[in-house]
Amino acid sequence: MNDLDTKPPETVVDLRGVTRRFGPTTALDDVSLSVPRGTVFGLVGVNGAGKTTLIKHVLGLLRAQTGSVRVFGLDPVADPVGVLSKIGYLSEDKDLPDWMRVDELLHYNRAFYPSWDDRYAEQLRRTFELDSAKQIKQLSRGQRARAGLLAALAHRPEILVLDEPSSGLDPIVRRDILTAIIRTISDEGRTVLFSSHLLEEVERVSDYVAMIDEGRIVLCDRLEQIKDSFHCLTLRFDAPQSDPPTVPGALGWKGADQEWTAVCNGRLEELQAAAAEAGARIVGQRVPSLDEIFVARVGRTCPASDEE
């Protein structure tokens, strides 16, 4: 039944042709995605793109209407205990029970996970500066996020699923704690799947990135591969151009007259040849940021989270 008993699969999360509709709205449209073991996998998209819906399918909180979801080779709906015991999850809402104290939250969670590490939990509690005797409802938004993160991490999960983890964390905590934790987990050979609005943050920690838009995966690859295949080119023409130039692989031009800039998808040599054929020469070339690639690919900006 469990493939992991014999041979650990390289893919820990595997979605195949998953479609999900809520009434007339298609939240996920034929989504296929594989998250390799030991990687940090970033999901990016605008509000309502389908990131949380996708994560809920991974957790078994939503049942795939078509297609299949496998986590560690198991169906999270058919075997929730088998899947959830290996997952640490921090929800977007940080919906911890308000009435629990921090120490009660830890005691309660500890009972569910045989791999719970008391020393690590205490170390994290001190790092996050959480008072054991305080009730969850007495904590600030940022402290709640830290308490949720602590509960998700202390059993050393095989996969850490974070839905908008930066929400509620101030920039210092975000950089010093979240980033460090994500990298530590990845270094230990465990897997992180996280969604974020903050493309800069995703770019800093991710090995793989999937861009999701209107329920569809529009781009999914290794981050280096993505960065290698996109170029920000500035073209100069001898004469002013009234219309944007036509270069295969270019994703939306900005500029006017003689100078035009675009994020282009393709091999650099081919783009250079195409630019020459269009009557222009490349006067500027750099590797675009993930943010620029996202805007070029999806066609609109990714709104920042509440703190931004």
Partner 1 sequence: MHRPITAMLWEVWGRHRWVLAVSPVYFLALSILSHAVSDGLIYGLDLSVYKDAIFFVLLFLASPLVVGLIPLFAYACDADIAGRESTFPARMLTLPLTTRALVGWPMICGTVAIALTWLAVASLVLRPAGMDVPLWWPAVFSASCLAWIQAMAWRPFGLPGMRILAAWGPIGGLVAVLGLGWGVRLPEVVASLLLAGTILPAFVVAVVGLSRARRGDVPDWQWLATWVQRVAGWFTCRGRPFATASRAQVWFEWRRNGLGLSIFVVLAILFLGALILVNRHNPRLPAGSPFRSPILLLVVPLLGAMMAGNGWGNCGDPGRGLAMRAFLATRPISGGGLIWAKMKAAAIGTAVAWGATLAAVVLMLLLTRSWAELAGPWNLVTGNLPAAQTAALVILGVALLLGGTWKSMFGNLFLGLAGRDRVMMVAASVFVFAMAATVPLGYFVLMHPQYHADLWSALPWLLAEVAVLKLALAGWALRAIRRQGLVDGPLLKRLLLGWLLAAAGLLLLLGWLLPAEIAPWYLLLPCVVLALPLLRISLAPLALAWNRHR
Q: Does 133 bind partner 1 (CB under 8 A)?
A: yes
Lookup: tokens for 49: 């793109």
Question: Which one, 161 or 223, has the nearer CB to partner 1?
Answer: 161
Q: Does 143 bind partner 1 (CB under 8 A)?
A: no
Candidate residues 59, 159, 263, 290; the one interacting with partner 1 per rule CB under 8 A: 59
Question: Which one, 133 or 172, has the nearer CB to partner 1?
Answer: 133
Candidate residues 32, 66, 98, 287; the one interacting with partner 1 per rule CB under 8 A: 98
Contacts of 137 (CB under 8 A, 6+ apart): 98, 99
Q: Does 215 bind partner 1 (CB under 8 A)?
A: no
Lookup: tokens for 83: 């899947």
Candidate residues 60, 73, 165, 168; the one interacting with partner 1 per rule CB under 8 A: 60
User: Binding string, 65-84, against partner 1, x = CB under 8 A?
Assistant: ------------xxxxx-xx
Question: Which one, 134 or 297, has the nearer CB to partner 1?
Answer: 134
Alpha helical stretches, state H, 28-78: 51-59
Partnered with residue 19 across adjacent β-strands are 66
Q: Does 115 bind partner 1 (CB under 8 A)?
A: no
CB of 102 to partner 1, least distance (A): 10
CB of 63 to partner 1, least distance (A): 5
CB of 130 to partner 1, least distance (A): 15
List own/partner pairs for 295-302 with CB under 8 A and 24 or more apart.
Answer: 295/263, 296/230, 296/251, 296/252, 296/262, 296/263, 297/211, 297/218, 297/219, 297/251, 298/45, 298/46, 298/211, 298/213, 298/218, 299/252, 300/46, 302/44, 302/45, 302/46, 302/197, 302/199
Q: Does 129 bind partner 1 (CB under 8 A)?
A: no
Question: Which one, 63 or 254, has the nearer CB to partner 1?
Answer: 63
Q: Does 120 bind partner 1 (CB under 8 A)?
A: no
**Rounded to whole angstroms, how far apart are CA atoms 269 and 284?**
14
**Rounded to whole angstroms, how far apart are CA atoms 42 and 206?**
6
Candidate residues 99, 119, 126, 300; the one interacting with partner 1 per rule CB under 8 A: 99
Question: Which one, 150 or 280, has the nearer CB to partner 1?
Answer: 150
**Rounded to whole angstroms, how far apart are CA atoms 86 and 117?**
14
Alpha helical stretches, state H, the chain: 51-59, 80-84, 102-110, 118-127, 141-153, 171-173, 180-187, 199-205, 223-229, 268-277, 290-298
Q: Does 119 bind partner 1 (CB under 8 A)?
A: no
Candidate residues 3, 8, 48, 137; the one interacting with partner 1 per rule CB under 8 A: 137
Q: Does 85 bind partner 1 (CB under 8 A)?
A: yes
